[in-house]
């Protein structure tokens, strides 16, 4: 498995260390500013460096998964974080599987960037660009700070028929107990396959790795497979504590404009496998997800890397100060052949490993609903 020689830490310790690392890295960003960003001396755009490193094939996440594995091996009804108790699901029913009550919603708590575009010009997706490390660290900080809350809801499941219904959305709230789903990110129900007999992934104890192939005879159980086409888009939304969107369509408003793209990162043609633990509450999930980002959409979306701070940047008019076109943040990272062929237009490939834990709320409501 991929990994980096980084010490595994507890969630709180890892978050504090990441913030220190991130703070020290910000100063380097101004030295590595992209030549395409023409700014005055007082402009401090959020940009990624364009140098590369050979050691990022698996991402740099240092989130501890030991607790997740321990939780999975026990018959627990407590969430892996401070999200409150997981509901007693042993009395519920769903088609073909009377032991589990659905819906069930999982929040991603570890994201490991395995591939991000093409760093060496061969057209193949890889994770060697330094931007992949920085993006991963930023995502982990945002997850810990509840700015990024990727939610997967298992709406229903027919174990005998091998099928399931899933939803994907992005949560907004001050704690896991009060998350609501940001409306522009709330997907329609998507059909998925479910194999109750096959465990594909489990949380990893290796430094820098969220998920690893499941061990034979281990505690992890069934696997969901989600396969979306190039016209199907999942939007990932994130915001500051004060409601400032970290991604913005220039000229748009928070939440997006009806008929226009939302203030969120659009991922298309998503392919994902998600394995849940074998306990009666299925409290822990692990998996891998790939998706495509159109180059045209990267050009049309402005983003803040972590915090929206700095000066206004003309191409991002109407967006928070410090916003920079996402295409500029990607820097010298190139498009990938597979996503370009899938989308029929220039596109970047993204692959992440992840773990997630079940929330105490079966299905968060829409914000403002």
Handedness of CA 174, 175, 178, 179 (dihedral sign): positive
Residue 46 phi, psi dihedral angles, 5° rounding: -85, 100
Number of C-beta neighbours around residue 320 at 10 A = 23
Instruction: Give me the residue spans of the domains in the chain.
Output: 11-358
Mind listing the pLDDT tens digit for each residue in 228-241? 999 999 999 999 99
> Using 50, 70 and 90 to split pLDDT, how confident is the model at 252?
low
pLDDT averaged over the chain?
A: 78
Give dist(CA 79, CA 285) in Å, integer: 12
- Mind listing the pLDDT tens digit for each residue in 165-213? 999 999 999 999 999 999 999 999 999 999 999 999 999 999 989 999 9
Residue that has been written with the tokens 């010009």 in this structure:
121
Q: For residue 357, is pLDDT > 80?
A: yes
Q: Using one digit for the tens of pLDDT, what is the confidence trace for 124-174?
A: 999 999 999 989 999 999 999 999 999 999 999 999 999 999 999 999 999
Distance CA 347, CA 240 (A): 28
pLDDT for residue 358 is more than 50: yes
How far, in Å, CA of 43 to CA of 70, rounded? 47
With a cut of 70, say whether residue 87 has pLDDT above it. Answer: no
User: Nearest-CA neighbor of 118 among 268, 294, 325, 332?
Assistant: 332
């Amino acid at each position: 498995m991929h990994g980096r020689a980084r010490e595994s830490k507890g969630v709180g310790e890892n978050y504090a260390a990441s913030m220190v690392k991130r703070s020290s890295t910000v100063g380097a960003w101004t030295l590595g500013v992209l030549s395409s960003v023409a700014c005055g001396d007082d402009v401090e755009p959020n940009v990624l460096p364009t140098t590369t490193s050979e050691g990022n094939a698996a991402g740099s996440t240092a989130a501890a998964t030991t607790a997740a594995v321990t939780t999975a091996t026990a018959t627990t009804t407590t969430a892996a974080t401070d999200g409150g108790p997981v509901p007693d699901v042993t009395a519920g029913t769903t088609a073909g599987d009377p032991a589990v009550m659905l819906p069930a919603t999982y929040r991603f708590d570890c994201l490991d960037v395995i591939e991000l575009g093409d760093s060496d010009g061969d057209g193949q997706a890889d994770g060697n660009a330094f931007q992949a490390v920085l993006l991963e660290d930023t995502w982990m900080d945002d997850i810990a700070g509840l700015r990024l809350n990727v939610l997967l809801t298992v709406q229903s499941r027919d174990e005998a028929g091998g099928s399931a219904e899933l939803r994907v959305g992005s949560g907004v709230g001050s704690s896991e107990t009060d998350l609501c789903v940001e409306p522009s990110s709330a997907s329609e129900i998507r059909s998925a396959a479910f194999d109750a007999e096959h465990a594909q992934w489990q949380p990893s104890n290796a430094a820098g790795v969220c998920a690893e192939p499941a061990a034979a005879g281990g505690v992890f159980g069934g696997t969901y497979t989600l396969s979306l086409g190039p016209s199907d888009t999942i939007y990932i939304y994130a915001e500051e504590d004060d409601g400032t969107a970290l991604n913005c369509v220039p000229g748009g408003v928070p939440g997006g404009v009806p008929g226009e793209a939302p203030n969120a990162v659009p991922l298309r043609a998503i392919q994902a496998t998600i394995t849940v633990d074998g306990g009666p509450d299925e409290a822990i999930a692990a998996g891998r997800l790939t998706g495509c980002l159109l180059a045209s959409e990267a050009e049309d979306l402005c983003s803040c890397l972590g915090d929206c701070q700095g000066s206004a940047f003309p191409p991002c008019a109407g967006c928070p100060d410090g916003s920079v076109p996402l295409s500029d943040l990607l820097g010298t990272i190139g498009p990938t052949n597979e996503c370009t062929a899938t989308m029929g237009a220039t596109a970047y490939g993204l692959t992440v490993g992840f773990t997630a834990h079940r929330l105490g709320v079966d299905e968060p409501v829409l914000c403002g609903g």
